Structure 1
Amino acid sequence: MTADKISPDMLRFERILAAPAATVWQYLVDPELRARWFMSGPTDLQVGGAFGLTMDHDRLSDEVVPTPDRYKPYVGHRWHERITRYEPPHLLAFTWEDGKAGEVTFALTEIDSGTTRLVLTHTGLRGSEDALNFGGGWHAHLAVLEKRIAGISIPDFWALHAVAEREMEIALVSEA
């Protein structure tokens, strides 16, 4: 089940995940688990703490697949953002590009002992280009998270990403 919203200044994705909130939370805050669906990096888990990110998307595919040319310059890029809200195990928010590209918030609600609603909201986008870029990325990364939690293999992250970008482009046009 998904309930996604995309607009030039805000993205909202909702996923129902087959895991308890405590498990999903670990996929958000544990750098090694986070590396399997998004990006790893050293993290200081407190408000004002650093949220480390390393783009190593080759780790997201279970098979060896080439990185698309347009993303090759970013492979291995490392940076950190600032945690703006930290309420374990239900809420994590951090800046993006030191706030220039907004704020990302993950909110978790346990539906029952084995199911969690995850809502990712990215606010403060700078327009349609950000919405398309981040929208495709978040959509693809959340698909990987769903599959990792369910124990399903990810043969090719970049194929998922290409589909997600097309879906976000269509969604952005329909919102206009």
Structure 2
Amino acid sequence: MQIVKTIFLKAPPEHVWKFLTDPDLLATWFHRGGGIMQQGGEYSLLTNSLGKEGDKMCWGTISELDAPNRLVHTFTHNYLQGVETTVTWTLTAQDGGTVLKLVHHGWDNMAEGSFNMAADHDVGWDEHFARLRKVVS
């Protein structure tokens, strides 16, 4: 089971890439990054909510960082109870814009509740991508 999302952004891959990897630009549509992403390194995303601002919300390890074409990292948070999923971002240049594809898998690693957890993340990605469209262009 995997989540697959494809969106079309009216900006070149080099510009879109910044919104996937720059801590401050991540904050404009997702969650603030906890630092600079590096191949083989760990990353974290921090909460933007009042009272908990700056707390580590999601984290993982970056296994591939091929700017501005592909980013692969593990993804987990407290609700996943130690299960690591994998997110693959692929950016493809198209007529001056970018086709951005996300594949998020690993839900089958959960002992129970994998469908509901994947469904919740599916909705979440839709919400985040709606914000990404607004800030990238």
TM class by shorter chain equals 0.7 to 0.9
Q: Distance in 1 between matches of 2:72 and 2:60?
A: 10
Q: Secondary structure at the residue paired with 2:32?
A: coil
TM-score, length-scaled by structure 2: 0.82
Structure with more of its chain in helix, by fraction = 1
Q: Distance in 2 between matches of 1:144 and 1:35?
A: 11
Report the alpha carbon displacement of residue 42 of structure 1 after superposing the two structures with TM. Answer: 2.6
Give the gaps of 5 or more residues in structure 2. none
Matching residue of 2:67: 88
Q: Does 1:148 align with 2:135?
A: yes
Pick closer, same or farther for the CA change 1:121–1:92 going to 2, 3 Å: same
Alignment check: 8 A CA contact 2:19 2:26 kept: yes
Aligned pair partner of 1:116 in 83, 98, 101: 98
Question: What is the letter of the counterpart of residue 36 of structure 1?
Answer: T
Report the alpha carbon displacement of residue 75 of structure 1 after superposing the two structures with TM. Answer: 5.7
What is the percentage of aligned positions where both structures have the same residue? 31
Alignment check: 8 A CA contact 1:42 1:51 kept: yes
Structure with more of its chain in strand, by fraction = 2
* Rg larger in structure: 1
Aligned pair partner of 1:33 in 25, 40, 43: 25
Question: What is the letter of the counterpart of residue 77 of structure 1?
Answer: D
> Deviations 1:48-69 (Å, cap 9, x if unpaired)?
21222002157xxxxxxxxxxx
Matching residue of 1:22: 14
Alignment check: 8 A CA contact 1:21 1:89 kept: yes
Matching residue of 1:107: 90
TM-score, length-scaled by structure 1: 0.65
Give the gaps of 5 or more residues in structure 1. 1-8, 59-71, 151-176
Q: Does 1:78 align with 2:70?
A: no
Computed over aligned residues only, the root mean square deviation of the Cα atoms, in angstroms, reads 2.1
Aligned pair partner of 1:48 in 37, 40, 50: 40
Q: Which aligned runs of 4 or more in structure 1 are off by greater than 6 angstroms?
A: none
